[in-house]
Structure 1
Amino acid sequence: MRPHERLPYSPITERPSLTLPGGAQVAVWTVVNLEVWDIARPMPRTVLTPPMGLPQLPDVPNWAWHEYGMRVGVWRFFELFRALGITPTAAINGRVCDVYPQIVAAAKADGWEFIAHGHEQRPMQTVEDQPAFIKEALDTIEAAVGTRPIGWLAPGMTQTFETPDHLAAAGLKYTADYVHDDEPSWIKTTRGNMVTLPYTFDMNDITVLGLAQHEGKHFYERGVDQFTQLHKEGASRAKIMAIPLHPYLSGQPHRFVHLEKLYRHLAAQPGVVFMTGAEIYEWFVGEGRAA
C-alpha cells in the first residue's frame, strides 16, 4: 500500500476532540535516539566533510563525533530527566544493548520506555530481510531489558511500501515514522491497524541543529514557540509535542544548556504532562478512537 492508502486524509477539524489525562492541554513526548554507528559503513550523519570531497572508509572523525554523545552527552540527558522527574522513550538500535550496555542499564533503572530503532543504523531500503531485521532488534532489546518493545522508529524514519506490514506482523503496536499530524492516528496494514504517534521534524535536533545548523538557543526559542501554540490549541483539544533528541547533537555542552532551559520552562507550565510513547498509545486506544 502507498502512504495515502494507509493513511486516508482526515482533517483535524472533522474529528472528535481528545482529552489528555488530568485535563492536560499538551503531552510532551521525549524520544532519545540511541544508535550504533558501524565504522565499516559510511556514517549516517557527518559534521566534517572529507578532504577533497571524496568520502573514505573508515570515517573515524565522524564516528568519534557520534561516540562523544554516547560517552558524554547522553549522561547529561540522564541527569536532566532525573532532576525533572521525566521519563523519556529510548529509541534504540538492537546493537546498542551489546555495544553500550551501561546506557541501556541506566535507562532501564530509570524506567525509560524502550522502542526498536532497527537492529543497526541503516536505511530500511537496504535491508534484504526486513522481518528478520525487525525480529532481531525486538529479540535483542527484550533480552536486555526484560520487556518486548511495542513501538518502532525506523533508522532515519526510512521504510519501503511493505515495512508497516512487517511491523504489524511482528506484533508492534505503534510507529513513529510519520510526521503528518498533531494527534495519534491509525495506519492500515495487511495485518490489521497500527497507531502512528505524532513524531516531528520541526522539533527534532537532527533537522534544527544538525541539518539547519542553528545554534542551541534557537532550539530553545523554537521549542517555546511550538509549545505556546500547542498549549493554546490544547485548551479545546489535546495536543502532542514530540521532542526527538540525539546525544551527539543536543548533548554537546553549548547546546545542552539551552535544552535544559527548554525543559525547565516546559515543566513549569500548567496543563502539561510528560508521557512515554507507550503511555500515549494506551491513552489514545483507551479514548476509544475508532481504528
Structure 2
Amino acid sequence: MLNNRIPYTAIVDRPKLLLPNKKKMAVWVILNVEHWSIDKPMPRTVLPPPMGKPLIPDVPNWSWHEYGMRSGFWRQYQALVERKIPTTLAINGNVCVSYPRIASAALEAGWEFMGHGFLQGPMHNLADQEKEICKALDTIEQFCGRRPTSWESPGLTETTETVDLLRKHGVKYIADWVIDDLPEIIDTPHGTMTTIPYTVETNDITVYALQAHRSQEFFDRGKDQFDRLYAEAENNVRVMAISIHPYITGVPHRIKYLEALLDYIGSHEEVEWMTASQIGDWYGNELQRLSGK
C-alpha cells in the first residue's frame, strides 16, 4: 500500500530540529499558476452549468480563472515582492508558453519554480504519466534554466506510480502529502523523496471556492493556524504553508486579507520565510546532523 511507504511517526517523538538563523518556525507561500483549456471541462467552477449539464466552451468559468492570470496574479505578486517574501511558484509547465509574462515576472523576482503538472488536471487522467511529468519538468527547465526539484501535483492527485516517476526524473521534494507539520521521507527505487508540509486548510481554494466563507476567514484561519504552530515551535520546529491562487485571493475584495496575514506573520521575529526546496534541503541537512554524518 502506498501509505505504508510513510511509516507512522508521532510529532511529539520527532527529534529536535534547528532552523537557519536560529529561528523556530518556517513559513512558505505557494502561488499556484495554472493553464485551463477552454475546450475542455473546467478543473473547478464558480457557476454551476445550466440545467446541470457542462457546456464546452465554458466561457464564464474559464473567464473566472483567466481573470486571475490577467489581474489577480499581479496583486499577489506586488504583495509578495514588496514584502520580499521568498515564494514558491507551483506552475503548470505550459504556463511558461501560454503566460510567459507571468513566468518571466516570477523568474525575475527570483521565485522557486515548482512543477505542477503540464496542464491542470488529475494525474489519474494522463494516458502516459511519465511522459507528461517529463514534459512539465523539461518545459520549466528550458524557460528558467533550472530543473525543478520540487513538485505539487494538480489537485494533489497521485497514482501509485507518481512518486517513483517524479524521483526518477530529478524531483526530490513533494507537497502532495498533507500529513504532518514537519517533513517526512518516502523511499523510492531512485532515492528518497521528502514531503514538504503543505495545506488543504490555509488554502484559499478550500476557504472560498469549497467552503464559501466570508473574505475575512482567510486571515482569521491563517492567524489561528500560525499562532498555535508558533507556540508549539517553542519545543520543536514547525512548518506552515499558505497556498494561494490568483483567481481566488487575487480578487479586489480578498487581497487585503492575504496582505494582512503576510504582515501579521512577518511581524514575528522567530519566523524564517522559505521555499519548498529550501525546506527540503534544510531537512536533509538536519537528518545528516542528527545521524552524525
TM bin, normalised by shorter chain, reads over 0.9
Q: CA deviation at 1:209?
A: 1.2
For 2:27 and 2:266, the matched residues in 1 are separated by: 10
- 1:80-99 alpha-carbon deviations (Å, 9 max, x no partner): 11111102100000100011
SS at 1:194 equivalent: strand
CA-based RMSD = 1.2
Instruction: Name stretches of at least 5 consecutive residues in structure 2 with no aligned partner.
Output: none
Give the match for residue 272 of structure 1.
271
Amino acid at match of 1:50: P
Q: CA deviation at 1:5?
A: 1.6
Amino acid at match of 2:187: K
Structural mapping, 1:134-145, within 5 Å? 134-145=133-144
Q: CA deviation at 1:257?
A: 1.1
Does residue 185 of the first structure (1) align with residue 184 of the second (2)?
Answer: yes
The answer on whether the counterparts of 1:94 and 1:141 sit within 8 Å (CA) in structure 2 is: yes
Give structure 1 regions of 4+ aligned residues with deviation exceeding 4 angstroms. Answer: none
Instruction: Name stretches of at least 5 consecutive residues in structure 1 with no aligned partner.
Output: none
Amino acid at match of 1:241: M
TM-score (norm 1): 0.97
Amino acid at match of 1:126: N
Deviates more, 1:184-193 or 1:25-34: 184-193
SS at 1:247 equivalent: coil
Query: Alignment length, in residue pairs?
Result: 290
SS at 1:193 equivalent: strand
The answer on whether the counterparts of 1:169 and 1:191 sit within 8 Å (CA) in structure 2 is: yes
- 1:122-156 alpha-carbon deviations (Å, 9 max, x no partner): 11001111111100000000111111100110111
Does residue 34 of the first structure (1) align with residue 30 of the second (2)?
Answer: no
Does residue 242 of the first structure (1) align with residue 241 of the second (2)?
Answer: yes
Give the match for residue 89 of structure 1.
88
For 2:263 and 2:15, the matched residues in 1 are separated by: 32
Structural mapping, 1:103-118, within 5 Å? 103-118=102-117
Q: Structure 1 vs Structure 2: percent identity of aligned residues? A: 48
- 1:171-223 alpha-carbon deviations (Å, 9 max, x no partner): 11111111000001101223221000011111011111110011221110111
Structural mapping, 1:1-291, within 5 Å? 2-288=1-287
Amino acid at match of 1:176: A
SS at 2:242 equivalent: strand
Q: CA deviation at 1:229?
A: 0.2
For 1:87 and 1:103, the matched residues in 2 are separated by: 16
For 1:198 and 1:32, the matched residues in 2 are separated by: 15
For 1:275 and 1:39, the matched residues in 2 are separated by: 34
